[in-house]
Chains A and B, each alone.
Chain A
């Protein structure tokens, strides 16, 4: 039986306003009642693989907003092919909800039959690049569309890296034709945890490939010998990350920009206010980046 495709075609596929928010279960009722002025919404497709209330509310929200499907379970960087069942369920959602873009991460979570449900770090080697590209291609062939791949946060770095992260991202995008989801908070986390120059990262990522930006809050974690930043998505975006976003927006111009908030989720207006802040920055730097074109 299943669901029929959306009836309402009045919502444009592509958002007319760059600033969007992640939609989580806590806000299902609120978003339909408050109809906040955000450009688009994003959800994890994995939460909609079953039926019932999640799909019910997503359908209603989709009638109001453009949608992006941002996966966490494809495990594109695993040394094994993407799971066909996962692709099939994901594709079913694409057909029903008509997202303007779909994405997953440059990371791995599955090894053999075990699925670890975290975005685990990859060594940036030519072998990894080949595996990742094969999986991106499998996914794109199955979906019959390009996907976006997101740069990760990581807490450990490999000594065996053959290239840096932006070179790895750019090359994967070049080889497969996929696009890049640039998580500015993750770049900040990487710069702190691994001593990378964040602005140099942004200067060097292939600007033509970036189709989405993520912003989120992170948390400091103290150890005996120092501290690490952990990408926790449970608090407001830090000021340092807003500064880095302004730098990014100046270089890239208006790109769909999302606030992710997954833990200690606040009331909807707080999330929307964060999103408005990103919109203001995009508007403010708009004239500058336009002049630079």
Chain B
């Protein structure tokens, strides 16, 4: 088992290779037919007990990656191996067996929990479906699970609407834990919660990982939240991973201009330490009209940005400790090296080429 925040090379639990997901839009009466590449060429490994943070803005494809891995939606291309088994080649009982080991916690447990099912039966459901325990032993196990997620076992008779947001999220986590997974996808698990409660759930997830050695794919838009749990962080933009690096190295010395912009946009709760603020101009490209070059070029502020960025798609390549998809990842994006977390001059506006 991997202690939190230490990283070792361990055989991969999960191997994701060249994942693609295309959706068709439009068609009869709904405008022109078009294809959206929601996920494009995504590859990563996950070790047992490791947390990979998957960060991106809405529409970046981060949630789709999670859904494709679990086969909640079918991939258009690529492969996923879990504990050495090709997940896309499975069906029937074999698929059910793998799904037991891979679970998901959603952003809004209010819509993912059955409103007419009490919390106890909701948590017991997985145990029953996978026939993990004799019927007589289930109630005791459910009570243990409630305790493990910090809920009083008396909660088992409550309906979702009788619980607060934090309590519902704990029920969602207990439900996922019931079947003893090795891998848990957390899809924006705290973004619907109040800040005071968000910290409770983040600490709970950290404790569970320490205790059970579960690997997490932690999907979120907030880098400060992701940093709290992640060993490594992957940043997605327009369906692709644009940077993947050890968490602290990504936070301290991001190489992709988009990661730098994301970092600078995270609100800093200390006015005396306001960071250099990069305000991106322009919009991302339309999903139905992917540009031939770098998808970030339309908003990029890198001093070296040129014609090549508009015509040639930068591959994800190794630069230092990171993998980065930028032609000029070796160079500072602004002069002088201005993006840092050190206290800086108050709010200098960075000139951007397309402002």
* A, B in one complex: no
